[in-house]
Amino acid sequence: MFKSRRRRTYRKRRRPFPLLTIILAIPIVLILLELSTRLLVGVMGKTAELAAYEGEPAIVNVYRLKFLNDNNEPYEGLSEQGRLAAHRSLAVGYQLVGDQTSNFWQINRQGFRDTEPVPVDKPNNEFRIFLLGGSTAFGQWNPSNQATIAAQLEARLKERVAQQQRSPEKYRPTDLPFYKPDLEKALALPPKIKDGQYRVINAAVPGYASGNELAQLALQILPYQPDAIVVLDGYMDLLLPSDRMATDIPHIETFLSNASGHFWTHLSQELTSVVTNTYLIKAIQYWIVRPQPSVSRLSLAALNGTAHLANYLPVNSEELQERVTRYRDRHKQMIRLVTGARIPLIIAIQPEITGRGGNQQISLREQEILVELGADYQTRIQDGYVALAKSLDQLQSWYPENVKTLNFYDVYNDFSDRAFWDAIHLTEEANRILSERLYQTLTASSELQVPPSRPIP
């Protein structure tokens, strides 16, 4: 009995592991995991590759906008900023910073997507065509400047001039014959366009709506003496609330009026950045999770949101009509601006993936995109495009001599290859289709054609 009591005397209860020890152990374990990951990555020779990883495909981060303040520093309250720098502009909302480059795009001194600067003084033999619009016109996700609509259109126009010089007999003669049979034969040939150096300047900016483009045209483009202007847009006007006249830096007014909220947002983002930039988190994402951006995230160039695209569409027919009326009125003002200067204007509704819905040859990835967008989005965006087309028909009927309107909504309905990367952004081959359609429209413009020696009967 004595022994039994003695054993109980020396038997001690195990104390629970102290909570403080657990708390202190967590950062130690994380540090050890981080060091181990760095060692493993170094042994594998993947240090530079992982260091450059941004948590998503490289091209996504390179094309995402990075908004800069007056000190050329990023707005710290804005999350998920990329590499394509833009700064605020009271005139147009925001504009691209000049003289910046990446592996995918080059921005010239004037902020246009071009490899060479555009002087205000135009050379005598140069014909300038400006392309205005949002991210689709800009060439979002395209591998280079040369893959964009503007570059392909420029190449096509230069090819036309070279063809006219090589084979003038295949084009309508400047001096028209008098005899009817010869005249009819001459008029059946395609007219020549004016000889010179054609330059198509990509002045599109990701996220722009018609209000931005109108201000840009009046204040920035007209001084460059354009010979023709092409506007490719429509989608952002459907997404932008009717009480906003143009796209601006996301949440900019909130940040300017709420300094304390801006400060705490900045602190939380700094902490998040420290965590996500560790090798441990990057390695997990890069080799295990490999997250892919949603269609909504890819399609939104400047709204800085992650909500489903359907959430940005009008909630009722009245709101839709107000947005479409804004679109129509802004383009009507564009027409009036260029009419006095006798500048040909082409206004085109940009393509959208639901226009591929009836195509039996649609790619598997495009089918997946349509499924992700959902039935509600598809119905509402189709209603929006119908309304846009009606407003464009109105403009054409009001100004038949001053504008040419095109509807590219379902231009890829019979296209056999993949056309869309997401809801609105196009592949290089899809850009070629659009550039060819624009080429046909431009070369049919009398302002760009060589005038005949006498009026055509």
pLDDT tens profile 260-292:
454 444 444 444 445 455 655 555 555 454 455
* 54 lies in some domain: no
Which pLDDT score is estimated for 289? Answer: 44
* 16 lies in some domain: no
Tally the domains of the chain: 1
Give the bridge partners for 232, in sequence order.
133, 348
Element (H, E) at 374: helix 364-398
* 8 lies in some domain: no
CA distances from 242 to 146, 247, 252, 266, 452 (A): 35, 11, 18, 30, 47
Which of 344, 321, 317 is CA-nearest to residue 394? 321
What's the mean pLDDT in 116-138? 96
pLDDT range class, residue 75, cuts 50, 70, 90:
confident
* 437 lies in some domain: yes
Which pLDDT score is estimated for 290? Answer: 47
pLDDT tens profile 145-157:
999 999 999 999 9
45 pLDDT more than 70: no
- Classify the C-alpha dihedral 391-217-133-148 as positive or negative: positive
Which pLDDT score is estimated for 269? Answer: 47
Q: What CATH number does the domain containing 305 carry?
A: 3.40.50.1110
51 pLDDT more than 80: no
pLDDT range class, residue 377, cuts 50, 70, 90:
very high
Terminal Cα-to-Cα distance of the chain (whole angstroms): 131
Judged on CB neighbours under 10 Å (0-12, 13-18, 19+), 346 is buried
What's the mean pLDDT in 11-27? 64
103 pLDDT more than 80: yes
- % of the chain exceeding 70 in pLDDT: 76
Tokens for 70, please give them. 């007056």
Which pLDDT score is estimated for 34? Answer: 60
Which pLDDT score is estimated for 281? Answer: 53
356 pLDDT more than 80: yes
* 369 lies in some domain: yes
Which pLDDT score is estimated for 307? Answer: 85
* 157 lies in some domain: yes
Which pLDDT score is estimated for 11? Answer: 55
Judged on CB neighbours under 10 Å (0-12, 13-18, 19+), 237 is buried
- Average pLDDT score, the chain: 85
- The boundaries of the domain holding residue 387 are 65-250+292-448
Q: Nearest 5°: CA angle at 355, between 352 and 359? A: 135
- % of the chain exceeding 90 in pLDDT: 61
Which pLDDT score is estimated for 302? Answer: 74
What's the mean pLDDT in 44-65? 67
* 260 lies in some domain: no
pLDDT tens profile 317-349:
999 999 999 999 999 999 999 998 889 999 999
Which pLDDT score is estimated for 252? Answer: 60
* 281 lies in some domain: no
